[in-house]
């Protein structure tokens, strides 16, 4: 009976060996997943969220409006800065115009009139003094004549000062100071305009809205991300290489990539290899990936590879992937086993 059972046991063992061989992955297969360098869209100042033009999962073009914060105070600040600038520019224009020749002629004529009046007033006072001595006129007439002299002299001093002020060289300094004030107000307008413009966020590149963190009416803190954007060029593959295979890979090398439901012919180029090992992440640990220490490799999908797919293929963060070198190479295995030549990746 024992002899008759031996062939059956041998057949069962052979089947088990064949089945296990069918499930065994190629030795050069690398496991990983899709990840991305996300763009967290935020604004520099806080405010209430008054508008949002996208939702989670939307694809947006570069320059598309994403969301808005309240602008009332910022619009008022801009209007005030523009009013200050307009007043400063009016003052500068007035200084540059200065006294017109006609206005100077009027002042000069007034000065000559005052001088002429003074020339008449002085002899009149002398005559009044003689007449007072002879009791021909009263002392009041003499006082009025002397007051007229003082008035003429005051007018002469006023008009002389006005002419001197109009011709002073210091006007150039006042103009320079006012020009500096105008420049400062223009800078204030530019700053206020920038602050107002920064109340709305625009997509820096085409991409997919991966998440939205705030809702309409909520208060958004300064520099706090409102939504998460992933441009296609920021997609990357995180692939883990067993320690004994690390020396077989180089930055710039192209890998063949495959995943469930993905079209054939996908490629990715290695642009980073970690310098330190880490334990195999649980997200990729399986019966066919038992290496305790692995090194992270990041690879970028080749430009145009996914765009060329007629089905509109798109990478999805978290999606498991497999990668293989395009060229066959010997794979180092555990001691006691022979080296094997893997199949060329497709």
Instruction: Identify the three-state secondary structure at position 344.
Output: coil
Residues 81 and 114 in one domain: yes
Six-digit token string for 45: 């100042």
Let me know if residue 202 belongs to a domain.
yes
Q: 86 and 139, same structural domain?
A: yes
Residues 189, 219 within the same domain = no
In a domain, 248, yes or no: no
Identify the three-state secondary structure at position 61. coil
Decide: 271 and 301 in contact? Cβ < 8 Å.
no
CATH code for the domain in which residue 134 is found? 1.10.287.470
Which residue, among 41, 32, 33, 54, has the nearest Cα to 230 in the 3D structure?
A: 41
Residues 62 and 202 in one domain: yes
- Cβ neighbors of 41 (< 8 A, separation 6 or more) are 66, 67, 201, 203, 225, 226, 227, 228, 229
- 128 with 177, same domain: the answer is yes
Query: Is 102 found in the same domain as 62?
Result: no
Name the residue among 227, 233, 209 with its Cα closest to residue 36.
Answer: 233
Residue 243 contacts by C-beta under 8 Å, 6 or more apart in sequence? 277, 291, 293, 294, 295
Q: Are residues 184 and 124 in the same domain?
A: yes
Judgement on whether residues 223 and 148 belong to the same structural domain of the protein: no
Task: Give the predicted TM-score (pTM) of the model.
Answer: 0.62
Examine the domain organization and report whether 162 and 121 are in the same domain: yes
Q: Are 102 and 209 in contact (CB under 8 A)?
A: no
CA distance 163 to 105: 10
3-state secondary structure of 302: coil
Number of domains in the chain: 2
- Whether 124 is in a domain gets the answer yes
CB of 28 within 8 A of CB of 186? no
How far are the Cα atoms of 30, 63, 81, 332, 341 from residue 338, in angstroms, in the given order?
20, 57, 79, 9, 10
Residue 54 domain boundaries: 39-66+198-229
Q: What is the pLDDT of residue 307?
A: 43
**Same-domain pairing of 107 and 132:** yes
**C-alpha distances out from residue 205 to 34, 51, 335, Å:** 20, 20, 50
> CATH no. for residue 48?
2.40.50.100
Beta-ladder partners of 209: 229
How far apart (Å, rounded) are the C-alpha atoms in residues 7 and 13? 10
Say yes or no: 145 and 167 in one domain: yes
Q: Is 262 contained in some domain? A: no
Residue 252 has a pLDDT of 92
Question: How does DSSP assign 161-196, residue by residue?
Answer: HHHHHHT-TTHHHHHHHHHHHHHHHHHHHHHHHHHH
- Report how far apart, in Å, the C-alpha atoms of 20 and of each of 9, 25, 290, 302 are: 16, 10, 16, 35
Round to whole Å and give the CA distance between 150 and 157.
11
Of 194, 214, 241, the residue that ends a domain is 194
Q: What is the pLDDT of residue 39?
A: 96
CB-count exposure of residue 5 (10 Å: 0-12, 13-18, 19+)? exposed
In a domain, 18, yes or no: no
Count, residues in the chain: 346
Residue 1 counted as domain residue: no
Residues 85 and 45 in one domain: no
Per-residue pLDDT of the chain (346 residues; tens, 9 = 90+): 444 443 444 333 443 433 344 444 456 789 999 999 999 999 999 999 999 999 999 999 999 999 999 999 999 999 999 999 999 999 888 777 765 566 667 767 777 777 777 677 677 666 666 666 656 556 666 667 667 777 777 778 877 777 776 665 556 778 888 999 999 999 999 999 999 999 999 999 999 999 999 999 999 999 999 999 999 999 999 999 998 889 999 999 999 999 988 888 899 999 999 999 888 787 665 655 566 789 999 999 986 544 444 356 788 899 999 999 987 655 554 444 444 444 444 3
- Domain contains 306: no
Q: Which of 240, 210, 221 is nearest to 322 (CA)?
A: 240
Residue 173 in any domain: the answer is yes
């Amino acid at each position: 009976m024992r002899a008759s059972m031996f062939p059956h046991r041998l057949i069962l063992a052979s089947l088990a060996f064949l089945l296990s061989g069918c499930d065994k992955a190629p030795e050069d297969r690398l496991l990983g997943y899709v990840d991305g360098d996300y763009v967290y869209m935020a604004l520099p100042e806080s405010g209430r969220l008054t508008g949002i033009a996208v939702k989670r999962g939307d694809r947006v073009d570069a320059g598309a409006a994403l969301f808005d914060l309240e602008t009332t105070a910022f619009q008022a600040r801009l209007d005030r800065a523009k009013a200050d600038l307009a007043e400063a520019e009016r003052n500068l224009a007035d200084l540059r115009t200065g006294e017109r020749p006609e206005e100077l002629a009027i002042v000069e004529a007034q000065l000559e009139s005052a001088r002429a009046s003074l020339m008449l007033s002085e002899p009149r006072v002398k005559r009044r003094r003689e007449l007072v001595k002879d009791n021909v006129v009263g002392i009041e007439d003499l006082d009025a004549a002397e007051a007229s002299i003082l008035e003429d002299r005051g007018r002469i001093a006023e008009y002389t000062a006005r002419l001197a002020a109009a011709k002073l060289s210091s006007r150039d300094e006042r103009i320079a100071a006012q020009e500096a004030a105008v420049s400062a107000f223009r800078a204030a307008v530019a700053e206020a305009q920038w602050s107002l413009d920064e109340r709305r966020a625009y997509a820096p590149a085409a991409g997919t809205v991966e998440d939205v963190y705030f809702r309409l009416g909520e208060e958004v803190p300064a520099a706090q991300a409102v939504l998460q954007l992933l441009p296609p060029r920021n997609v990357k593959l995180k692939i883990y290489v067993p320690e004994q295979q690390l020396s077989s890979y180089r930055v710039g090398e192209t890998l063949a990539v495959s995943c469930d439901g993905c079209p054939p012919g996908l490629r990715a180029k290695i642009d980073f290899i970690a310098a330190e090992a880490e334990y195999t992440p649980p997200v990729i640990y399986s019966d066919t990936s038992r290496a305790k220490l692995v090194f992270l490799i990041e690879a970028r999908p080749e430009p145009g590879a996914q765009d060329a797919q007629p089905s509109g293929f798109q990478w999805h963060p978290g999606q498991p992937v497999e990668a293989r070198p395009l060229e066959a190479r010997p794979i180092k295995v555990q001691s006691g086993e022979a080296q094997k030549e893997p199949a060329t990746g497709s």
